[in-house]
A = this chain, B = another copy of it.
Amino acid sequence: MSEKLQVAVAGIGRMGMRHARHFATLTPRAELIAVCSPVQAELNAAAKEFPGVRTYTDYDLMLSEEETLQAVVVASATTVHAEQAIKAIELGLHVLCEKPISTSPEISQSVVNAYKTSLESHPLQKVICGFSRRFDASYRDAHNRMVTGSIGKPSVFRSQTCDKLDPSGFFVAYAEFSGGIFVDCSIHDIDLALWFFGEDSKIKSVTAVGITAVQPDLRKHNDRDNALGIIEFYGGKIAQLYCSRMMAAGQEDCTEIFGTEGKIAINTQPQLNLVNLYEPSGIRREIPADYYGRFREAFITEANEFTACCLDNTPAPLQLESAVKAVAIGCALQESLITGKKIEFDESGRRVEGSKL
- Chain A residues engaging chain B, CB cutoff 8 angstroms: 1, 24-26, 28, 51, 137-138, 141-142, 145, 150-151, 153, 155-156, 158, 205, 207, 209-214, 226, 228, 230, 232, 236-240, 242, 244, 246-250, 252, 258, 260-287, 340-342, 344
Tell me the minimal C-beta distance from A253 to chain B in angstroms: 10
Separation of A170 and B242 alpha carbons in the complex (Å):
33
* Chain B, residue nearest A50 (CB): B1
Q: Are B244 and A258 in contact (CB under 8 A)?
A: yes
Chain B neighbourhood of A275, CB < 8 A: 138, 141-142, 145, 264-266
**Cα–Cα distance between A260 and B278 once the two chains are bound (Å):** 11
Shortest CB distance A29–B (Å): 8
Q: A207 to B237, alpha carbons, bound, how many Å?
A: 16
Given known A-B contacts A155-B246, A209-B230, A230-B230, A278 and B266 have beta carbons under 8 A apart: no
Contacts of A263 in B (CB 8 A): 247-249, 252, 277-278
Smallest CB separation, A124 vs chain B (Å): 23
**Once the chains bind, are B248 and A261 in contact (CB under 8 Å)?**
yes
Known: A155-B226, A248-B263. 18 other contacts (CB 8 A): A26-B26, A26-B28, A138-B273, A141-B275, A145-B277, A155-B211, A156-B213, A158-B242, A205-B209, A207-B209, A209-B232, A248-B279, A249-B283, A250-B282, A262-B279, A263-B278, A266-B274, A268-B276
- Please, how many angstroms separate the alpha-carbon atoms of A260 and B279 in the complex? 11
A242, A265, A267, A344 — which one has the most chain B CB atoms within 10 A of its CB? A265
Residue of B with least CB distance to A262: B248
On whether the beta carbons of B141 and A260 are closer than 8 Å, the reply is no
Q: What are 28 sample pairs from A and B whose C-beta atoms fall under 8 A apart?
A: A137-B273, A141-B272, A155-B211, A156-B213, A156-B226, A156-B242, A156-B244, A156-B246, A207-B207, A207-B209, A209-B238, A213-B260, A240-B240, A244-B258, A247-B278, A248-B261, A248-B262, A249-B263, A249-B278, A249-B279, A252-B278, A262-B277, A265-B277, A270-B283, A282-B286, A282-B287, A283-B287, A284-B284
Contacts of A270 in B (CB 8 A): 274, 283
Please indicate which of the listed interface residues A158, A263, A280 has the most CB atoms of chain B within 10 Å of its own CB. Answer: A263
Closest B-chain residue to A25, C-beta based?
B28
Q: What residues of chain B lie closer than 8 Å to A260, measured between beta carbons?
A: 213-214, 246
Cβ–Cβ contact B276 & A286, under 8 A: no
A293 to chain B, nearest CB (A): 11
B287 & A285 in contact (Cβ 8 Å cutoff): no
- What separation, in Å, do the CA atoms of A137 and B278 have in the docked complex? 18
Which chain B positions have C-beta within 8 A of A150? 277, 279
CB-CB < 8 A to A277: which residues of B?
A: 145, 150, 262-265
Which residues of the other chain, B, contact A274 by a CB distance below 8 angstroms? 138, 266-267, 269-270
With A and B bound together, what is the CA distance between A273 and B140 in angstroms? 10
Q: In the assembled complex, how far is the CB of residue A3 from the closest CB belonging to chain B, in whole angstroms?
A: 12
